[in-house]
Structure 1
């Protein structure tokens, strides 16, 4: 299944900026109370030490991470009050994808460097590194641009800055892995 890009624009009629949970620590007690009700522990008040522990975390996963932490603590604490030691270990830094979001070009370069170092040890890759990398990068590039252009090869080629016949040839399955990128007719 493919995502319909027009739906994104229908859903984004009005954007609301919501700061991350780590910048809204005063919301944590109310959110915790709400999630505890959802988890079947309505009416339970968290001890001040547990509230403090929740408010000290960075919550890189935002509200979803908070909910999951409370679900974990509910299971571990069983029927007793949820104490700070019932909470799962905190994630103390953003996950790797955040680094990509911050600086995609550097993250891509570092990934290519790691990939190259890994393949240098693979004897079967000798003499084919460039070809392998080009195929690896071209497939998602062509697929995404082609999807963005609604399957129109001419428009996709123009956006990519390559000739239409070059793109058609690469999409047509003449190269390994290219067949699944064939444009819609």
Structure 2
């Protein structure tokens, strides 16, 4: 739901001096005020126009504020109303609040108190309205939209592109940052294609030691090498008639690129230790974090074989308000009765850069839903997180410092391929301090041993 930047307030007050003074004060506080001297006139305007909050005197010549409240409630108008009177008592206040009034203020009152309560009413109303729209959206989605959730234009275009490429049955390269959902997109391409009834076979090229790559992709015959006690079907053969997903393909060793290219060109595979050419019919979807055409260690001929279709997956920070939708989706999945987000929580979700993208957001949402004593900001300020090169505008300093320190450690581990002694020397850190920081930021030496790749 889109709102104007300046909140619109309806003010109903029959006393001209009080009405003018209150209107001027609210305008100075940053509100757009529509004033009405008649209760019925104000009520008619509220029933026909959109307001963010209502301020109304209780005693009016032609009606009263409590009756206006009842009328709005019966018409299912949830705009918060603050009632003001010089004749109120405890019973009237209790009755007003029980009937749904946001607050009840007695005259005389400090203008600052009124403007503060109006601000809180506007924030509450906008948050509830936006939440309702998001809930209605999540309840109504189906098909591809149920898997790739988001109302932003970028996500709409992505779903349209997937639907088109799925029908074409061509090889595809998916570009996107870590955690942005590349495997989910690849799975969707498979499920929407004619190959949906056959295997979807994912393999992370960056997680396989080079010595095991050939056997993993092509399989082996019994006795092909020490320890090969029985025949093993490789990933390419297993994906026959289905889809092979090569994640982090930029990490594939050059010798394997040659073998994969030949298999794709000839539509055959030969197991390690075997002589038989086995026919395969598969679709290849590759994923990378950088443009393979500019990658010095990636073969151009394999690039052209794979680069028939391209999908650029937008990072979460470029997807408008999708972060809130996804946050609530993951929170509800984890705990259907999780507590509502506060205004501070919503602001943290919307302003944070989410360097870890949807994967990071999902983790934070689950932690929030399972712990009633922690806020979103507290989670973000203490969690180990990756970061982008740019300064994260609107992100608290404590989060930026955490992200920067983690990136320095991560980059050093990449440069030295997990050799702790070299990292200690470069960063001038004692072994114990380095271990503590690696544990704090969730950095595991084993993740850097075989490849020199970005997380």
Q: TM-score range by the shorter chain?
A: 0.3 to 0.5
Question: TM-score normalized by structure 2?
Answer: 0.20
Higher strand share: 2
Structure 1 or 2, whichever has the larger Rg, is 2
